[in-house]
Amino acid sequence: MSIFIHFSEKKLFQIDLTNISVIKSKRTFVAVIFSILYPATVFSQSVDSIISNTRIKYSDTRKNISSYDTLFREVWDESTEGGEATAFYDGSNLRLIEVWLLGENFKERSEYYFDKGELLFVFETAFKYNRPFYFDSSMAVEYNDTAYDPAKTSIEENRYYFHNGKLIRWINNNQEAVDPGTENFSEAEKDILLFSGHIKNLFTKQN
């Protein structure tokens, strides 16, 4: 017989009870269970504390954004229609880089929040068009299709929390935490760190 223990991050532990006779007392059994549960509980509390602190810093940045100095850069080779990036500085301290990427079928805004040079939080908003933006009514008639309609644009949001260069939580468009053990989670971490570093370098190299 086995018991299964679930955690909020969708981790699953199995404890084999077929040899439960080796456990001498209920107190020992409780100690065994505690030794399994406690590290996971502490980790979860630690992540929640980090994210709570990140949200405070995010709110502080948004509250003071109008007082920050700004720098602007064009962004090429990332999308078919190009893009732009704006960096917000509190003195010499980089607080935020906002990036817009434009494509035929979408536009995307990504906000990269920093604290003392470290990436803290990324807020992505993707606007997906029903057709390419140039697909007007005459083209729709010609191709027997539907024209581009801004009212049919769908919006998808993702939130990524980082700590010490690692993605610690990803909240997807359904407001669900993505399992950190999945390949999608690992790929998101790698892609975001690579792109945020690239965008950051656009400003540090030209200041």
DSSP 8-class letter at 119:
E
- pLDDT tens profile 73-113: 999 888 888 899 999 999 999 999 999 999 999 999 999 99
Q: Is residue 148 within 8 Å of 131, Cβ to Cβ? A: yes
Which of the pair, 205 or 161, is modelled with greater confidence? 161
Q: Is the pLDDT score of 149 beyond 60?
A: yes
Q: Model confidence over 109-136: pLDDT tens digits?
A: 999 999 999 999 999 999 999 999 999 9
Q: Which two tokens stand for residue 206?
A: 């030209």
The CA–CA distances, whole Å, from 204 to 64, 83, 117, 140 equal: 22, 18, 11, 45
> Buried b / exposed e across 188-204, counting CB within 10 Å, b at 16+?
bbeebbebbeebbebbe
- pLDDT on residue 122: 98
| Contact status, residue 14 vs residue 2, Cβ threshold 8 Å | yes
| 63 CB-contact burial (10 Å; exposed 0-12 / middle 13-18 / buried 19+) | exposed
Write the CB contacts of 186 (distance below 8 Å, at least 6 apart in sequence). none
Helices (H), the chain: 26-64, 137-142, 183-204
pLDDT band at residue 204 using 50, 70 and 90 as cut-offs:
confident
Using pLDDT thresholds of 50, 70 and 90, give the confidence band for residue 6. very low
184 within 8 A of 202, measured Cβ to Cβ: no
Q: Output the DSSP codes for 176-195.
A: -BPPTTSHHHHHHHHHHHHH
Report, as an integer, the average pLDDT of 139-165: 95
